[in-house]
Amino acid sequence: MSKKVFAVIGTGAIGGYYGARLHHGGHDVHFLLNSDYQHVVDNGLRVDSHYGDFSIPSSDLNAYSAVADMPKADVVLVALKTTQNHLLDSLIRPLLKPNTLVMLLQNGIGAEQEVAEAFDLPYVGGGLCFICSNKVGPGHIDHIDYGRITIGVYGQSGIDALHAFASDLTQSGVEVDVDPKIIDARWKKLLWNVPFNGLSAVLDSDTATMMDCAELVDLSKAIMIEVQHAAQTTDTEIPMSLIDTMLRNTAKMKPYLTSMLLDRRNHRELEIQYMYKNAIDLAASHGVTMPKTTALYEQLCFINKQIKSV
């Protein structure tokens, strides 16, 4: 029986980490790279992890600079920022075969349905990565903390493929939760991302500095409650205990530079459409307002305009 083929689109902090885990789990993994392609071809892929460092030597690495050179895949892991989703047609379509599972390892809400409709796919998976991981150099990933992933699927016919992927992750040493209703999982991830990604970018601060300020903790909790109320519009119930648990865990977390803060510092466009605008609009369509979240979104829009003008 041939190995299942995985394609990783976006070999950064997320795609590089989970792709490398799958490789070490014995799977046939193929990595699409951009600016660091030649460095990785020459030196391999390196992951410094709090679970123990591991790498893929260049001699054992399937690295590509063009999708056209990659084999068709059983599972396509999309680990790009949602700001690059306009490129998905050229990146995904050449890799598809019947029953390919496209798995979006992205933040925000609404992308699974968009991709399913755009590619006429019966199902599209989504993964929520609860991980502190940064790309610190070409082909070099620093995994600071956590690593669990929650996966779900848009389209009920994809349940079997979803569970098979969960088994692949478990075999590869990744803690995984299966939440078949992907929108539930997405709201739960937004519960943390909306306050902490946005506020860290606006304030130019890591999580530890933010949690040292009682007023900022109160604001973060208020934004989380707005997300909780928005989630109820799609019949997703988020208990207050989860909000309290996330705040406690964030307070105990090692100082962490969120992805949005790193994007701002590196003058990259911020992911605000799927993480903020889609959530605000979805809530508003059901008569639910998110005033603090909206104010944060408007500040992030200002930052994005500054970044784009440079």
Give the residue numbers marked as catalytic: 189
CB-CB contact of 201 with 189 (8 Å): no
CB-CB contact of 7 with 101 (8 Å): no
Q: Which of 133, 152, 156, 137 is nearest to 51 (CA)?
A: 133
Cβ-in-10-Å burial (0-12, 13-18, 19+) of 268 comes to middle
What does the alpha-carbon distance between residue 54 and residue 61 come to, in Å, rounded to a whole number? 13
The DSSP element (H or E) to which 217 belongs, if any, is helix 214-231
What does the alpha-carbon distance between residue 197 and residue 209 come to, in Å, rounded to a whole number? 13
DSSP assignment, residue 237? -
Angle at 297 between CA 275 and CA 202, to 5 degrees: 105
- Helices and strands of the chain, counted as H and E runs: 12, 10
What does the alpha-carbon distance between residue 130 and residue 143 come to, in Å, rounded to a whole number? 12
Q: What share of the chain is helix, strand, coil (3-state, %, to 5)?
A: 50, 20, 30
Cβ-in-10-Å burial (0-12, 13-18, 19+) of 232 comes to middle
